[in-house]
Amino acid sequence: MTASHWTLILVLAIAAFSIRAVGLFAGDKIRASRHAWMLDDLPGLIVVSLVAASLAGQPLQTWVAATIACAVALLTNHVIATMCIGVLVYAGLVWIRL
Protein backbone atom coordinates (compact mmCIF):
# COMPACT_ATOMS: atom_id res chain seq x y z
CA MET A 1 0.00 0.00 0.00
CA THR A 2 1.15 3.47 -0.78
CA ALA A 3 1.47 6.44 1.54
CA SER A 4 -1.71 7.94 0.12
CA HIS A 5 -3.64 4.78 1.13
CA TRP A 6 -2.31 4.99 4.69
CA THR A 7 -3.09 8.71 4.83
CA LEU A 8 -6.67 8.04 3.73
CA ILE A 9 -7.05 5.29 6.34
CA LEU A 10 -5.70 7.59 9.04
CA VAL A 11 -7.96 10.49 8.04
CA LEU A 12 -11.03 8.24 7.96
CA ALA A 13 -10.15 6.75 11.36
CA ILE A 14 -9.77 10.22 12.86
CA ALA A 15 -13.06 11.31 11.29
CA ALA A 16 -14.88 8.24 12.62
CA PHE A 17 -13.49 8.77 16.11
CA SER A 18 -14.31 12.49 16.00
CA ILE A 19 -17.93 11.82 15.03
CA ARG A 20 -18.32 9.45 17.96
CA ALA A 21 -16.59 11.81 20.40
CA VAL A 22 -18.69 14.79 19.33
CA GLY A 23 -21.85 12.67 19.65
CA LEU A 24 -20.83 11.57 23.12
CA PHE A 25 -20.18 15.11 24.34
CA ALA A 26 -23.27 16.52 22.64
CA GLY A 27 -25.40 13.74 24.14
CA ASP A 28 -24.11 14.54 27.61
CA LYS A 29 -24.91 18.23 27.11
CA ILE A 30 -28.44 17.44 25.90
CA ARG A 31 -29.06 15.05 28.82
CA ALA A 32 -28.10 17.82 31.23
CA SER A 33 -30.28 20.43 29.52
CA ARG A 34 -34.00 21.17 29.67
CA HIS A 35 -34.40 19.38 26.30
CA ALA A 36 -33.59 15.96 27.78
CA TRP A 37 -37.24 14.87 27.51
CA MET A 38 -36.80 14.60 23.73
CA LEU A 39 -34.33 11.74 24.15
CA ASP A 40 -36.94 9.55 25.85
CA ASP A 41 -39.06 9.24 22.71
CA LEU A 42 -36.25 9.31 20.15
CA PRO A 43 -35.71 5.52 19.71
CA GLY A 44 -39.40 4.91 19.06
CA LEU A 45 -39.58 7.82 16.65
CA ILE A 46 -36.61 6.50 14.69
CA VAL A 47 -38.20 3.06 14.37
CA VAL A 48 -41.54 4.54 13.27
CA SER A 49 -39.84 6.70 10.64
CA LEU A 50 -37.89 3.71 9.28
CA VAL A 51 -41.04 1.60 9.06
CA ALA A 52 -43.01 4.41 7.43
CA ALA A 53 -40.28 4.97 4.86
CA SER A 54 -40.17 1.22 4.16
CA LEU A 55 -43.94 1.04 3.61
CA ALA A 56 -43.98 3.85 1.07
CA GLY A 57 -44.77 2.40 -2.34
CA GLN A 58 -45.39 -1.15 -1.08
CA PRO A 59 -48.30 -3.31 -2.29
CA LEU A 60 -51.55 -3.87 -0.40
CA GLN A 61 -50.33 -7.14 1.19
CA THR A 62 -47.52 -5.30 2.96
CA TRP A 63 -49.83 -2.60 4.29
CA VAL A 64 -52.38 -5.13 5.56
CA ALA A 65 -49.67 -7.22 7.24
CA ALA A 66 -48.13 -4.09 8.79
CA THR A 67 -51.52 -2.96 10.10
CA ILE A 68 -52.20 -6.35 11.67
CA ALA A 69 -48.68 -6.45 13.12
CA CYS A 70 -49.25 -3.01 14.62
CA ALA A 71 -52.49 -4.23 16.20
CA VAL A 72 -50.70 -7.28 17.62
CA ALA A 73 -47.97 -5.04 19.02
CA LEU A 74 -50.54 -2.82 20.72
CA LEU A 75 -52.45 -5.77 22.17
CA THR A 76 -49.57 -8.00 23.26
CA ASN A 77 -46.55 -5.69 23.62
CA HIS A 78 -44.49 -8.71 22.50
CA VAL A 79 -41.88 -8.20 19.78
CA ILE A 80 -41.51 -11.85 18.73
CA ALA A 81 -45.27 -12.38 18.48
CA THR A 82 -45.61 -9.19 16.45
CA MET A 83 -42.91 -10.25 13.99
CA CYS A 84 -44.20 -13.82 13.64
CA ILE A 85 -47.80 -12.82 13.08
CA GLY A 86 -46.81 -10.05 10.67
CA VAL A 87 -44.73 -12.45 8.59
CA LEU A 88 -47.43 -15.14 8.67
CA VAL A 89 -50.11 -12.66 7.59
CA TYR A 90 -47.92 -11.39 4.77
CA ALA A 91 -47.11 -14.94 3.63
CA GLY A 92 -50.80 -15.88 3.75
CA LEU A 93 -51.82 -12.83 1.74
CA VAL A 94 -49.16 -13.50 -0.88
CA TRP A 95 -50.16 -17.18 -1.00
CA ILE A 96 -53.84 -16.38 -1.64
CA ARG A 97 -52.71 -13.60 -4.04
CA LEU A 98 -54.65 -10.75 -2.40
What pLDDT is attached to residue 57? 92
pLDDT at 98 over 70: no
pTM, full prediction: 0.60
Q: Is 90 exposed, middle or buried (0-12, 13-18, 19+ CB in 10 A)?
A: middle
* Tens digit of each residue's pLDDT (9 = 90 or more) over 53-97: 999 999 999 999 999 999 999 999 999 999 999 999 999 999 998
* Burial of 81 (C-beta count, 10 Å sphere; 0-12/13-18/19+): middle
What would the pLDDT profile of 6-65 be if each residue is shown by its tens digit?
Answer: 999 999 999 999 999 998 888 788 888 887 887 788 888 898 899 999 999 999 999 999
| pLDDT, position 39 | 79
